[in-house]
Structure 1
């Protein structure tokens, strides 16, 4: 994934390059037999690529009532199969307590996963991942325009160095804008918008898409014409809502 790390322009002082053995996750997370099979069948290797700490980069630690960020790691998961990324991310993010930029690589493609973490109120020794956010698969040998703009946006010199929370938040915002750009022709135009608002609109669009897909699936199984017509009417209403949100995103 040289193209990604080159775009991020990470100082050599942050390099780690250590292998993380699967045993770490077997012993420190609540993995069932199926989870262990996923790790065995889908993962070739897990590598701790970089570590951002106060002594490796000029960024301050962050602490408030619900979270403590004194380190950010970039961990790469080299896959044997490009599947089960969501479950693998859940396990890795849930096991490692500090914020992670998780990079999945498969052949000539990569996918990034991030998620803010907060202290578990029931068990303070554990952390809760607030939301797992994923990019699409990005082909390194066939970057689209939005991919090129995105990789430029995650040059770490463009992120906030105020503290690790703001640094990580800026990285997440870059991903949220990238994900929204599938509905917007110009990612650079989105960079001038409020990232939280863009994510809210994008989440609403995705939610409507799921509802439409579910209704279309019902139509395929429906035998009564009256019910099919009713389902089509509902789809049309949802499509109008979706198009309105996409239009709002493009203003």
Structure 2
């Protein structure tokens, strides 16, 4: 069962319903042994659900000096139930590895991708704009960073999550061209992330939300690193200094969250 197929209202002529063998990703993406192990241990199935093209959705191609958005794919990854461990609401022990899987898949497939990762009745959505590599025109690079939503329990969606699901319905995506089409989804993820962080609707531009959210993400990483050092440190004075640094970073984060709430 693929959850995304139950919640998106997509025209039948966009359905692909094809399984992508993990071995195909191993070989094409030239994965190292560590990444292969992550795929083998955590992934039950990679499914190519939908293919949006000029012919089946009547959306124009978008081509400029940096981008070629000629079609958009929707890929769903189903995780192995026994090998993923939930440790809190919307949090899994393997979240870093799951994000690594998303990173590999979004770089491996040379098209803009709506990527969902599924665990039982929960979904996480990923997005990133792409552009052509200046070093190798046959390859794409991620433009900026890969963004994602929180894990959404489809049986208990919050108002913010309901709003996101509404925004990404096929009929609500901009069909001017494929860049606009994909960007509608990208912006919905940005707005969702801002609203989740602020705890409610954010009345800022998508660019402002994205900037603030990315700054918060960087601070979160720094705080996580410092807290790890604190847990490993025995020297009281060093621990005190690290705690002061962590407290200062948390204050910076709080200021950014307040910016979202303006």
Normalising by structure 2, we get a TM-score of 0.86
Deviations 1:130-168 (A, max 9, x none): 222222211122222222121112123222111111111
Give the corresponding residue for 1:65.
65
Give the corresponding residue for 2:205.
194
Deviations 1:12-31 (A, max 9, x none): 22111122222321331211
Query: How far apart are the structure 2 equivalents of 1:213 and 1:20?
Result: 35
Task: Find out whether 1:152 has 2:166 as its counterpart.
Answer: yes
Give the corresponding residue for 2:46.
46
Query: How far apart are the structure 2 equivalents of 1:230 and 1:91?
Result: 37
Query: CA contact under 8 A between 2:72 and 2:113: conserved in structure 1?
Result: yes
Aligned residues: 248
Query: CA contact under 8 A between 1:19 and 1:45: conserved in structure 2?
Result: yes
Query: How far apart are the structure 2 equivalents of 1:75 and 1:6?
Result: 14
Give the corresponding residue for 2:105.
92
Deviations 1:26-47 (A, max 9, x none): 3312112333333222222221
Query: How far apart are the structure 2 equivalents of 1:240 and 1:61?
Result: 45
The 10-residue stretch of structure 1 (96-105 or 31-40) with the greater mean CA deviation from structure 2:
31-40
The 10-residue stretch of structure 1 (232-241 or 116-125) with the greater mean CA deviation from structure 2:
232-241
**SS of structure 2 residue aligned to 1:18:** strand
TM-aligned CA deviation for residue 8 of structure 1: 3.2
Query: CA contact under 8 A between 1:7 and 1:152: conserved in structure 2?
Result: no
TM-aligned CA deviation for residue 91 of structure 1: 2.4
The 10-residue stretch of structure 1 (39-48 or 97-106) with the greater mean CA deviation from structure 2:
39-48
Kindly tell me: are residues 225 and 92 of structure 1, through their superposed partners in 2, closer, same or farther at Cα, counting changes over 3 Å?
A: closer
Give the corresponding residue for 2:194.
180
Aligned to 2:117, which of 78, 101, 104? 104
**SS of structure 1 residue aligned to 2:138:** coil
**SS of structure 2 residue aligned to 1:102:** strand
Query: How far apart are the structure 2 equivalents of 1:244 and 1:142?
Result: 30
- Give the alignment's Cα RMSD to 1 decimal: 2.0
Query: CA contact under 8 A between 1:20 and 1:47: conserved in structure 2?
Result: yes
